[in-house]
């Protein structure tokens, strides 16, 4: 399959890893994953409280904030040093690679490590001699673990198996983000890159304006979707089969156990780490579809989701830590594909840096707009009618990026 259809099928650019045919006449393809033994590094984030304790006792108390340094300093530097890698498995190797249990255990282990780190972190908050600043640092480490826990839940929750879906709900519990299990899978994937999706940011919308729309809109949408599902099955919302309530119940149980064991004094730190997890997750949502819009299909409904409706990144270490989340374009085209077989899509718009650095840029709206707005406009050839624009900024964008129908590529990005 060639041309645009071939690219929309998610074919990656020529991969650097070697694909070998099996025995003569066999259709089996053996493909060596060059990152195979890097994937367990993703467990460094949920193990963050243990690593922070070691560093704080042997190096400096400043390193109670290890999780923040890892995600926002170390990983971006490693991305720059290593560079981009657009390689991915050929289609013929996808089935075998998907069935490899090694990759599944990298996600299965996330949840027990996450919970061990969570309770150890609160043991430290209760018993270690720490300054207020150090407590904030450890809460950041716990919050980053909660945020990446949502990412692990994202990977697990898309799978059909009851075990993986249960692990997904448990991974969401420390951040109290159980609604994500429903809203992401049922709501976001249906409405992505439309003005109706609370998780798709609009051109000209700052991260700080996006937060309330995403945080409130996500909960409302998730609850509505789950209530409708239960109603179709003859159940009320507060039913034991409610997927959101199951994760919320786990959140309540965590709080009860933490307070019972460590006292009420640690409760504010639980709230802080949960809020950090929520904000980091929604910041990632903000950057993933910024300004991108699906063209209307038949009957005025949003058209098919293609790789060009998500921003893509090929930075190696960000992809390892985030389980290939940066290959978001292929994920939306094929939501049930496992992380190890997601590929770079050449027609998807590309980030200039990894997710961590892009989230830092998003926190400073003038810097974000300077880097990203012109890329969004260029992606659509200067045609603002094809862009998901924040309604309050429509006039500003029209003046800033003049669109000449006779010269679509003549973009004034001053």
In a domain, 332, yes or no: no
Query: Domain count of the chain?
Result: 1
Is 362 in contact with 286 (CB distance < 8 Å)? yes
Can you give the pLDDT at residue 403? Answer: 52
| Separation of alpha carbons 73 and 67, rounded Å | 10
Angle, vertex CA 218, rays to CA 229 and CA 252, nearest 5: 80
Q: What is the pTM of this model?
A: 0.88
* Per-residue pLDDT tens listing for the chain (414 residues): 333 333 333 343 333 333 444 444 445 556 788 889 999 999 999 999 999 999 999 999 999 999 999 999 999 999 988 888 888 888 888 888 899 999 999 999 999 999 999 999 999 999 999 999 999 999 999 999 999 999 999 999 888 889 999 999 999 999 999 999 999 999 999 999 999 999 999 999 999 999 999 999 999 999 999 999 999 999 999 999 999 999 999 999 999 999 999 999 999 999 999 999 999 999 999 999 999 999 887 777 778 888 999 999 999 999 999 999 999 988 998 888 999 999 888 889 999 999 999 999 999 999 999 999 999 999 999 989 899 999 998 888 888 887 543 334 444 433
| Tokens describing residue 111 | 């949840």
Domain contains 331: no
Domain that holds residue 276: 41-294+353-400
100-111 core/surface letters (b: 16 or more CB in 10 A; e: else): eeebbebbebbb
> What is residue 29's DSSP assignment?
E
Residues near 206 by Cβ (< 8 Å), separated by ≥ 6? Answer: 365, 368
Domain membership flag for residue 139 = yes
Give the E-state strand segments of 245-356 in sequence order: none
Residue-level pLDDT at 161: 85
Q: Does residue 10 lie within any of the structural domains?
A: no
215 within some domain: yes
* Amino acid 26: pLDDT: 46
**pLDDT at residue 174, rounded to an integer:** 97
Reference 103, options 331, 339, 368; nearest CA is 339
Give the three-state DSSP class for 10: coil
Round to whole Å and give the CA distance between 63 and 56. 5
Has residue 329 been placed in a domain?
no
Q: In this structure, is residue 405 part of a structural domain? A: no
DSSP calls for 192-236: TTSTT-TTS--BT--HHHHHHHHHHHHHHHHHHHHHHHHHHTT--
Distance CA 128, CA 135 (A): 10
* 63: nearest Cα among 75, 52, 71: 52
Tell me what pLDDT residue 21 has: 40
Query: Quick check: helix, strand or coil at residue 60?
Result: coil
Question: Cα separation of 319 and 386, whole Å?
Answer: 29
Q: Does a structural domain hold residue 336?
A: no
């Amino acid at each position: 399959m060639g041309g645009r259809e071939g690219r929309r099928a998610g074919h990656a650019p020529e991969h650097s890893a070697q694909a070998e045919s099996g025995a003569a006449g066999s259709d089996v393809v053996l493909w060596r994953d060059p990152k195979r033994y890097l994937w367990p590094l993703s467990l460094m984030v949920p193990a963050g409280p243990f690593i922070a304790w070691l560093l704080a006792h042997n190096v400096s108390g400043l390193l109670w904030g290890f999780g923040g340094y890892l995600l926002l300093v170390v990983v971006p530097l490693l991305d720059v040093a290593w560079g981009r890698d657009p390689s991915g498995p050929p289609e013929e190797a996808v089935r075998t690679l998907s069935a490899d249990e090694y990759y599944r255990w990298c996600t299965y282990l996330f949840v027990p490590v996450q919970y061990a780190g969570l309770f150890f972190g609160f043991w430290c908050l209760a018993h270690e001699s720490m300054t207020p600043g150090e407590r904030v640092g450890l809460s950041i480490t716990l919050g980053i673990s909660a945020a990446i826990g949502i990412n692990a839940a994202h990977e697990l929750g898309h799978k059909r198996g009851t075990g993986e879906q249960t692990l997904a709900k448990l991974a969401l519990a420390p951040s109290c983000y159980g609604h994500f299990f429903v809203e992401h899978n049922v709501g976001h994937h249906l409405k992505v890159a439309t003005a109706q999706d609370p998780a798709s940011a609009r051109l000209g919308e700052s991260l700080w304006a996006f937060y309330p729309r995403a945080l409130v809109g996500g909960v409302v949408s998730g609850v509505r979707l789950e209530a409708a599902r239960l109603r179709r099955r003859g159940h009320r919302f507060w039913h034991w089969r409610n997927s959101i309530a199951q994760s919320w119940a786990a959140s309540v149980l965590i709080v009860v156990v933490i307070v019972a064991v460590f006292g009420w004094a640690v409760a504010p730190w639980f709230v802080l780490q949960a809020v950090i997890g929520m904000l980091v997750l929604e910041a990632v949502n903000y950057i993933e579809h910024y300004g991108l819009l699906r063209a209307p299909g038949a009957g005025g409904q949003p058209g098919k989701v293609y790789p060009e409706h998500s921003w893509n990144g090929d930075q190696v270490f960000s992809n390892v830590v985030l389980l290939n989340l940066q290959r978001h374009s292929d994920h939306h085209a094929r939501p049930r594909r496992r992380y190890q077989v997601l590929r770079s899509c050449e027609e998807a718009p590309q980030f200039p840096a990894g997710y961590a650095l892009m989230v830092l840029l998003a926190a400073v709206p003038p810097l974000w707009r300077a880097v990203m707005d012109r890329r969004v406009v260029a992606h659509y050839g200067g045609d603002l009618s094809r862009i998901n624009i924040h309604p309050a900024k429509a006039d500003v964008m029209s003046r800033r990026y003049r669109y000449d129908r006779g010269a679509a590529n003549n973009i004034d990005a001053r």
